[in-house]
A and B are shown apart, each in its own frame.
Chain A
Amino acid sequence: MLLVLEQALNGVQFGVTLFLMAAGLTLVFGIMNLVNLAHGALYMMGAYLAATFFQRTGSFLLAVVLALAATLVIGVIVEVLALRTLYERDHLDQVLATFGLILFFNEMVAVVWGRAAIYTKLPPALAGHVELLPGLRYPLYRTVVIVVGLAVAVLLWVVVNRTRLGMLIRAGAANRTMVAALGVNIRLLYTLVFGLGAALAGLAGLMAGPIYAVQIGMGEQILIQVFVVIVIGGIGSIRGALVGALVVGMVDTLGRAFLRPMLAAVLGPGAADNAGPALASMLIYILMAAVLFFRPQGLFPTATAR
């Protein structure tokens, strides 16, 4: 039973990382109608910047703050310089242009940091493990990731549903032209939302850094799963992103952990060794296909999903 609980925690930990990515991507998608493949590049920048600032300053907290601010700025610059011209173009143009941004960022990282991956050390205060329940030892850092991820989810909900900015965001998603006609500076709003999304991706990246390796192309690896999350959750919906992320995180982790032993009981150990891992890595895509079949608009479609 403890094992299932621990695996559920692992699932949530992966899920919140996906959520931080998905939240920004889905907002940009839903509000600006922009397909941004370069979202993973911002995740990578967050990880690289945090690793560098941590090495330079020696303070993890300071590194986190600086990296977040820096990814926000990078996001704003990218929006102003490159993406602004793309809003009125069709999705294929956007995909091509943002794919170009991926290449640009990957090459830039190779020039600045080199092609070798960086392994970040945890600060001593976050290394080690905590006893969450008697007999349930869980890595402290992953516990922090879960707490931060869920806190950001709550914060986002408050911002979107309880503040003036959130109101504008929702209004912008519902009817851009009307919001602009009412005298709201929609360009500024877009820049803000994109910067916010960038900072969230940066946060996901810097938290993922110590768990995976900080390397070129790390953003693309996770971006595929983030798109699965958005398709499952419904495009443009923060709530959908949260639910989708947790579902994908959970299905992926539990599949990795329990599918093989379950198959072994049915097929025998030999076949399970081969089929188990293969099937486990397909599970989230099967889930996505199922969701697309039964609810093509996703689990939590926004009222105006186009």
Chain B
Amino acid sequence: MATLTRVLGFALLALLIAVTPAAAQEKVKIGFITTLSGPNAAIGEHMKNSVELALDHLGRKVGGLPVEVIYGDDQNKPDVGKQVADEMLKRHQVNFVSGIIWSNVMLAVAPTVTGAGTFMIGTNAGPHQLAGKDCHELFFTTSWQNDQTPEAMGKYMADQGITDVYVMAPNYPAGKDMVQGFKRFFKGKIVGEVYTKFPDQLDFQAELSQLKAANPKAVFVFYPGGFGIQYLKQYAEAGLREKIPLYSVYTVDEISLPAVKEAALGQYETRYWSPDLKNAANEKYVGDFKKKFGKLPVFYGAQSYDGIMLIDSAVKAVKGSLKDQKGMIAAMRKADYSSTRGKYTYNTNHFPIQNFYLLRAVAGQGGELEMRIQKTVFENHKDSYSQQCGMK
């Protein structure tokens, strides 16, 4: 009899130990990875600020539970990103990993996170591998698949009857995706296609000299963040601005505009979002961001804000039981939250089906340049890889 009580005692103790972490787990842990150093630290700062703003708006709770966000700096390097993710998974035991600007970093981090049975909520990079054959039920993104935005620009330029286009992008997975997407809808002639070194090339003078000699009728580029600032400045300094019209994706935005000013005036971009997009969630986000940080937000931030809101909607749907991943997947697939882009739906590969607009850099009231929506290029646009994804 004494042994039985002892066994029972042990069993109780074991149960108690097993239960304790679950009780302590009454807190949502989110690991947010972005670039917080180097030429593109400005992007990371916008994303971090937007995450903080989302938490403010949610009353510092996610899905009704207390929340802890751990920020990590990937230094724009895949190996560092993977290391940071590993630390978040093992040491901090996060429930969600979110963020990631660069596609090459994402390709290293996403399989690590989903492989460990943890949610990966991307808020920028959308490499085609993750939309197609490498899609995963624990992977969601609040941004886009890389090809989608340049597809819209390719369509717009084709509709304008533009031909003899020179194409430039950095040599990494997103650069390749961007050109791929552009070509899918642009049917005119491409007279040159150049990939520059990534991520350390910030001087494009030699490539711009080649471009000038090729004398194209238009130029299409993808140079995000700090690369865009350098590219736009050097394009203007080389005297190309007034000679050859430049079209771009992810190059002219609220980060590069204040830095380059006139060197981007009048330039066209395509995008799924803009600060002047009219809907309640966006007005609240843009207004409060300006109030808190004294500048306009950028799409990187809007996506990161949405990422927290998406997580919030999922945790709410399962009433805070973070073990219920099936329930959270089902909830996220509904995209049932007020996104800054307005209502959108999820494709089977967990990439958004959404609108894409034509934007232009114009002088605002104060003389400051800002991006304004000109028209809708695509409505409810799907990415081109969802059929290759095994999920239904």
Q: Which residue of A lies closest to B40 (CB)?
A: A117
A127 partner residues in chain B, CB cutoff 8 A: 236-237
Which stretch, A6-14, A48-56, A70-78, touches the partner chain B? A6-14
A256 with B42, Cβ < 8 A, contacts A137-B238, A277-B171, A277-B197 known: no
A253 interfacial contact with B, CB 8 Å: yes
- Contact assessment for B37 and A115 in the assembled complex, using a CB-CB cutoff below 8 Å: yes
B317 interfacial contact with A, CB 8 Å: no
A139 with B205, Cβ < 8 A, contacts A129-B239, A215-B38 known: yes
- Contact assessment for A257 and B209 in the assembled complex, using a CB-CB cutoff below 8 Å: yes
A117 with B213, Cβ < 8 A, contacts A128-B237, A139-B238, A216-B38 known: no
- Contact assessment for B229 and A10 in the assembled complex, using a CB-CB cutoff below 8 Å: no
A114 partner residues in chain B, CB cutoff 8 A: 41
Question: Of residues 109 to 131 in A, which have CB atoms within 8 Å of B's CB atoms?
Answer: 110, 114-117, 119, 121-122, 127-129
B64 interfacial contact with A, CB 8 Å: no
Question: Of residues 239 to 286 in A, which have CB atoms within 8 Å of B's CB atoms?
Answer: 253, 256-257, 260, 273, 277, 281
Determine which of A3, A253, A256 lies in contact with B213 in the assembled complex, contact meaning CB atoms within 8 Å. A3
Question: Of residues 165 to 204 in A, which have CB atoms within 8 Å of B's CB atoms?
Answer: none
Report how far A5 CA is from B236 CA in the complex, Å: 20
Q: How many of chain B's residues touch chain A, expressed as a range?
A: 35 or more
Report how far A127 CA is from B232 CA in the complex, Å: 13
A interface footprint on B172-195 (CB within 8 Å = 1, 0 otherwise): 000000000000000000000111
A2 with B38, Cβ < 8 A, contacts A213-B202, A213-B230 known: no
Report how far A221 CA is from B39 CA in the complex, Å: 14
Question: Of residues 208 to 242 in B, which have CB atoms within 8 Å of A's CB atoms?
Answer: 209-210, 212-213, 226, 229-230, 233-234, 236-239
- Contact assessment for B39 and A256 in the assembled complex, using a CB-CB cutoff below 8 Å: no
A157 interfacial contact with B, CB 8 Å: no
- Contact assessment for B207 and A256 in the assembled complex, using a CB-CB cutoff below 8 Å: yes
B200 partner residues in chain A, CB cutoff 8 A: 221
B259 interfacial contact with A, CB 8 Å: yes
B315 interfacial contact with A, CB 8 Å: no
B164 interfacial contact with A, CB 8 Å: no
- Contact assessment for A119 and B197 in the assembled complex, using a CB-CB cutoff below 8 Å: no
B206 interfacial contact with A, CB 8 Å: yes
What is the CB-to-nearest-CB distance from B101 to chain A, in angstroms, rounded to a whole number? 14
Determine which of B202, B205, B212 lies in contact with A142 in the assembled complex, contact meaning CB atoms within 8 Å. B205
Report how far A277 CA is from B176 CA in the complex, Å: 15
B36 interfacial contact with A, CB 8 Å: yes
What is the CB-to-nearest-CB distance from B71 to chain A, in angstroms, rounded to a whole number? 13
- Contact assessment for B229 and A119 in the assembled complex, using a CB-CB cutoff below 8 Å: yes
B45 interfacial contact with A, CB 8 Å: yes
Determine which of B36, B210, B226 lies in contact with A3 in the assembled complex, contact meaning CB atoms within 8 Å. B210
Report how far A257 CA is from B194 CA in the complex, Å: 10
- Contact assessment for A277 and B206 in the assembled complex, using a CB-CB cutoff below 8 Å: no
Q: Which residue of B lies closest to A131 (CB)?
A: B239
B213 partner residues in chain A, CB cutoff 8 A: 2-3, 6
A interface footprint on B12-43 (CB within 8 Å = 1, 0 otherwise): 00000000000000000000000011111110
A104 interfacial contact with B, CB 8 Å: no
Report how far A273 CA is from B167 CA in the complex, Å: 13
What is the CB-to-nearest-CB distance from A51 to chain B, in angstroms, rounded to a whole number? 13
B203 interfacial contact with A, CB 8 Å: yes
A141 interfacial contact with B, CB 8 Å: yes
- Contact assessment for A117 and B209 in the assembled complex, using a CB-CB cutoff below 8 Å: no
Report how far A4 CA is from B192 CA in the complex, Å: 18
A156 interfacial contact with B, CB 8 Å: no
A257 with B42, Cβ < 8 A, contacts A129-B238, A213-B226, A221-B200 known: no
Report how far A119 CA is from B230 CA in the complex, Å: 8
- Contact assessment for B209 and A6 in the assembled complex, using a CB-CB cutoff below 8 Å: yes
What is the CB-to-nearest-CB distance from B106 to chain A, in angstroms, rounded to a whole number? 21
What is the CB-to-nearest-CB distance from B238 to chain A, in angstroms, rounded to a whole number? 6
A115 with B36, Cβ < 8 A, contacts A212-B202, A256-B207, A257-B209 known: yes
Report how far A128 CA is from B209 CA in the complex, Å: 15
Determine which of A212, A273, A277 lies in contact with B203 in the assembled complex, contact meaning CB atoms within 8 Å. A212
B259 partner residues in chain A, CB cutoff 8 A: 119, 121
Report how far A119 CA is from B229 CA in the complex, Å: 8
Report how far A137 CA is from B202 CA in the complex, Å: 21
- Contact assessment for A13 and B205 in the assembled complex, using a CB-CB cutoff below 8 Å: yes
A108 interfacial contact with B, CB 8 Å: no
Known A115-B36, A257-B210; 10 more pairs at CB < 8 Å? A2-B213, A3-B210, A7-B210, A117-B38, A119-B259, A139-B205, A139-B238, A215-B38, A253-B206, A256-B206
Q: Give me the 5 closest cross-chain CB pairs, A-B, nearest first.
A: A116-B41, A115-B37, A137-B239, A129-B239, A139-B237
A-B residue pairs in contact (CB < 8 Å), sample of 6: A6-B213, A138-B238, A141-B237, A211-B205, A215-B38, A216-B38
